[in-house]
Amino acid sequence: MRIHSTLIALAGLGVAASAQAEGPDFEKEIWPFVKNSCVKCHQPEHKDERGRTRRPKGDLVVTNKEALMKGGEDGEVIVAGKPEDSPFLQMALLPLDHDDHMPPEGKADQWTDEQKKLMEAWIKAGADFGAWERDPEVDVQGE
Ligand code: HEC
């Protein structure tokens, strides 16, 4: 009986340890703050409430996995395993008053230090989206 419960406890630890090695969970831990800070300017081309066409800034769409991994007008923005080569993180790490800082000063919520660390850990662990493909709430084309 005693041995049995020890084995169960160890199995539990194993699961926790491997989840850690895989990095943060995209849908639960990363997407909410990306959605909050970046979607406003980086969603698919659509018409706003006044009928004006809004194009994604820098040609970068972040509302689905395929577009996010494709990148923007300057190419890839996330390089799996290489946070230092990933503009998606690096531009958020620039000083707030730098022209290329994301999100632009005063235009959306800045990522907290904790969120920057989560993004770094997620890219480093391989930029794994899990089952997440897109957010249907904001990944909308057209009107
Ligand atoms: C208020 C609008 C706005 C918000 C919010 C915003 N961006 Fe941007 N983003 C821009 C503009 C404008 C450009 C194009 C800059 C240029 O071409 O000089 C851009 C370009 C980029 C690029 C470069 C794309 C390329 O290939 O050239 C990245 C990466 C980026 N943004 C990441 C982010 C991230 C990450 C967030 C959220 C933390 C974010 N942006 C939030 C306006 C915004």
Q: Is the peptide bond before 103 cis (omega within 30 degrees of 0)?
A: yes
Low-confidence ranges of the chain (pLDDT < 50): 15, 17-20
Alpha-carbon distances, residue 42 vs 67, 68, 90, 118, 132 (angstroms): 10, 10, 17, 20, 18
CB of 104 closer than 6 angstroms to any ligand 1 atom = yes
Find where tokens 């923005």 sit: 77
Nearest residue by C-alpha to atom 43 in ligand 1: 41
Alpha-carbon distances, residue 114 vs 53, 101, 124 (angstroms): 35, 17, 15
What are the structure tokens assigned to 58, written together?
């820098």
Nearest residue by C-alpha to atom 10 in ligand 1: 57
Atom of ligand 1 nearest to the CA of 111: 38
pLDDT tens, residue by residue, 109-135: 999 999 999 999 999 999 999 999 999
Query: What contacts 141, CB < 8 A, 6 or more positions away?
Result: 44, 45, 46
Query: Ligand 1, from 37, 60, 100: best to mutate by most atoms within 8 Å of Cβ?
Result: 60
Q: Is the Cβ–Cβ distance between 26 and 130 less than 8 Å?
A: yes
pLDDT tens, residue by residue, 59-68: 999 999 999 9
Q: Can you give the pLDDT at residue 78?
A: 98
* CA trace torsion 128, 73, 35, 134 (10° rounding): -50
Q: Can you give the pLDDT at residue 20?
A: 46
Q: Can you give the pLDDT at residue 52?
A: 95
Q: Can you give the pLDDT at residue 141?
A: 78
Q: Can you give the pLDDT at residue 10?
A: 52
